């Protein structure tokens, strides 16, 4: 048996019949290196190769997920483009809740803090099937979240109507919880 095919870094050499005749076992070129016969889908770095992995490399892969080649059993979170996420079931056989802003979200174990897009967060019930209070300025907040998680003064000012979270208003640095607020809690001059 010869050296592993992964040591070959030139596509033409990888794909040549001479390599196979010299007892180097290769599946074929994966985009950045020659893939051995036991390579994993994640090692393929070219979308076209991944999408046609069965024919070109004799590998069982689901297809290109936007940033990487997906192997059977891949998680929805590995899908990194919205169009592919919205077709995850038909394209890859992956059950997905929907697009969360930066990647696809799995139905299993989905929580509001995994949603990174304000619009997806504010419409989480319809789009993702989970109940969230809404966007807090820098993250998606769960129902009943603390006012301290609200990072936007404008959202804090309307927190009761926008999020269902009562607050005493913006202190200058954070959203104050409803209840007993003292001047010492307020950091913005002229408020107290």
Q: Give the model confidence (pLDDT) of 95-141 as tens digits.
A: 999 999 999 999 999 999 999 999 999 999 999 999 999 999 999 99
Low-confidence residues of the chain: pLDDT under 70: 1-5, 17-23, 180, 184-192
Q: Whole-angstrom distance between the N-terminal and C-terminal Cα of the chain?
A: 80
Rounded Cα–Cα distance for residues 26 and 121 (Å) = 46
| pLDDT in the model for residue 20 | 64
List, as own/partner pairs, every contact residues 12-16 make where C-beta atoms lie below 8 angstroms and the sequence separation is at least 24, other chains included. Answer: none
Structure tokens at 94: 């992956």
> Taking the model in full, what pTM does it have?
0.80
| pLDDT in the model for residue 35 | 92
- DSSP 8-class letter at 23: T
Alpha helices in the chain (DSSP H): 11-15, 17-21, 47-51, 53-57, 82-86, 88-92, 118-122, 124-128, 153-157, 159-163
| pLDDT in the model for residue 81 | 97
């Amino acid at each position: 048996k010869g050296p592993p095919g992964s040591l070959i870094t030139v596509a033409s050499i990888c794909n040549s019949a001479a390599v196979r005749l010299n007892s180097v076992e290769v599946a074929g070129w994966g985009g950045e290196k020659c893939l051995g016969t036991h390579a994993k889908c994640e090692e393929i770095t070219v979308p076209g190769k991944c999408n046609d992995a069965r024919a070109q490399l004799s590998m069982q892969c689901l297809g290109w997920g936007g940033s990487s080649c997906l192997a059977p059993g891949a998680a929805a979170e590995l899908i990194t483009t919205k169009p592919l996420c919205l077709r995850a079931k038909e394209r890859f056989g992956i059950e997905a809740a929907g697009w969360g802003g930066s990647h696809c979200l799995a139905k299993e174990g989905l929580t509001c803090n995994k949603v990174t897009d304000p619009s997806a967060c504010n419409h989480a019930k319809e789009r993702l099937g989970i109940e969230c209070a809404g966007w807090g300025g820098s993250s998606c907040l769960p129902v009943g979240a603390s006012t301290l998680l609200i990072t936007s003064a404008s959202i804090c000012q309307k927190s009761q109507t926008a999020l269902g979270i009562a607050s005493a208003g913006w202190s200058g640095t954070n959203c104050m919880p409803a209840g007993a607020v003292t001047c010492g809690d307020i950091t913005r001059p002229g408020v107290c």
